[in-house]
């Protein structure tokens, strides 16, 4: 319910559109080629790009893309990016990881330092994982560099897109499509000379599926339920609850003092309230937020995080208030049990 960005409901109608009657699409036929080209153009134009191609968001696909981008020299990777990108960057000696500042959740100082050291290529998440702070301000700072932006969360929340990105990545997982289906969009049809990217296998109806998925997200209203939720839970828990950082609408990196968020998450499953402690929690890892720990937070402090996001198409004020009360009460019960 409140893990909308990371774990949205599957859109089975869109998923059923992926692929055809055979493993490989009949791309040799004129009709199939024409449809794929038309859908590709339509998706690219939606994102103000020239061409799109499939991208799987796997460790291997990120490693391949990083290898190509090393043609620009050293590559700066915002460490609070997609977990697979972060892990891939650690295997590349020519990559440097830029960690958000613990004081404000911003990566600006790290990016400016990288620029002063001659870095010309950057991988940027629109929102930093777990802490959910926005990096859109980097669009202007990096306007003269080669930049690869993950815009998945921006599309899910219907936020403005970066104007100066060279490549943009879209993770279908964040739009209700199965994990492993994604898109890489380029502002130039020749992929800025990275010719290896022009060799790829088409997936039947993939571009049409993403066009529809994006249009559905653009129907979201402008109500910010994150603020309303925080007001309700603050009324009950007072100093036991806090925000890690200020973040865009319908996102909330919530902290519960001296808590073990995983225990709270488990206690709420029976009430059909779904939450996460960060992407490590989402993937089933036992460790708390890797982002908070990279930033310098202790493991105990990282365990206080609830990474909340709200789908304002399927909730209302009553649901928000009732859920805030339930989460607060469960937290207080667990606090008593922990002594």
Measured over the CA atoms of residue 158, residue 164, residue 165 and residue 166, the dihedral's sign is positive
Residue 5 domain-assigned?
no
What average pLDDT does the segment 33-39 reach? Answer: 88
pLDDT(21) > 70: no
pLDDT at 242: 96
pLDDT at 23: 62
Contact criterion met (CB below 8 Å) for 161 and 47:
yes
Going by the DSSP 8-state scheme, the letter that residue 99 receives in this structure is P
Residue 2 domain-assigned?
no
Range of the domain at 88: 12-217
Residue 204 domain-assigned?
yes
Lowest mean per-residue pLDDT among 48-62, 128-142, 283-297? 283-297
pLDDT at 105: 95
pLDDT category at 219 given cuts 50, 70, 90 is low
What average pLDDT does the segment 100-125 reach? Answer: 97
Q: In angstroms, rounded to a whole number, what is the distance separating the alpha carbons of residues 273 and 155? A: 24
Q: pTM for this one?
A: 0.93
The pair phi, psi for residue 135, each rounded to 5°, is -110, 15
- Domain ends where: 194, 217, 240? 217
Residue 173 domain-assigned?
yes
Residue 23 domain-assigned?
yes
CA 122 to chain centre: 16
What CATH number is given to the structural domain containing 272?
3.90.1150.10
pLDDT at 26: 62
Residues 133 and 107 in one domain: yes
Residues 209 and 297 in one domain: no
Angle between helices 206-217 and 30-46 (to 10 degrees): 30
Structurally, how many domains does the chain consist of? 2
């Amino acid at each position: 319910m409140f893990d909308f960005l990371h774990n949205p409901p599957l859109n089975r109608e869109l998923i059923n559109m992926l692929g055809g009657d055979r493993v490989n699409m009949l791309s040799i036929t004129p009709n199939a080629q024409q449809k794929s080209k038309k859908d590709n153009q339509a998706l690219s134009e939606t994102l103000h790009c020239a061409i799109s191609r499939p991208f799987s968001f796997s460790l291997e696909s990120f490693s391949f893309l990083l290898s190509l981008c090393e043609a620009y020299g050293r590559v700066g990777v915002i460490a609070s990016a997609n977990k697979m990108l972060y892990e891939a960057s650690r295997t590349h000696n020519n990559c440097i990881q830029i960690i958000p500042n613990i004081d404000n959740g911003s990566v600006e100082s790290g990016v400016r330092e990288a620029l002063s050291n001659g870095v010309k290529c950057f991988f940027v998440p629109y929102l930093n994982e777990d802490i959910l702070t926005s990096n859109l301000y980097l669009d202007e700072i990096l306007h003269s560099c080669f930049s690869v932006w993950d815009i998945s969360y921006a599309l899910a929340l219907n936020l403005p897109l970066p104007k100066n990105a060279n490549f943009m990545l879209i993770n279908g997982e964040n739009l209700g499509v199965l994990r492993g289906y994604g898109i890489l969009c380029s502002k130039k049809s020749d992929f800025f000379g990275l010719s290896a990217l022009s060799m790829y296998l088409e997936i039947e109806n993939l571009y049409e599926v993403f066009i529809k998925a994006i249009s559905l997200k653009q129907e979201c209203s402008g109500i910010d339920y994150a603020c309303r939720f925080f007001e309700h839970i603050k009324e009950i828990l007072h100093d036991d609850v806090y925000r890690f950082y200020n973040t865009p609408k319908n996102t909330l990196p919530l902290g519960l003092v001296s808590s073990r968020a995983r225990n709270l998450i488990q206690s709420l499953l029976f009430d059909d309230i779904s939450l996460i402690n960060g992407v490590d929690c989402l993937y089933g890892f036992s460790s708390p937020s890797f982002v908070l720990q990279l930033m310098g937070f202790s493991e105990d402090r990282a365990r206080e995080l609830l990474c909340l996001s709200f789908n304002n198409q399927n909730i209302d004020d009553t649901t928000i208030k009732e859920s805030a009360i339930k989460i607060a009460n469960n937290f207080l019960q667990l606090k008593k049990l922990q002594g």
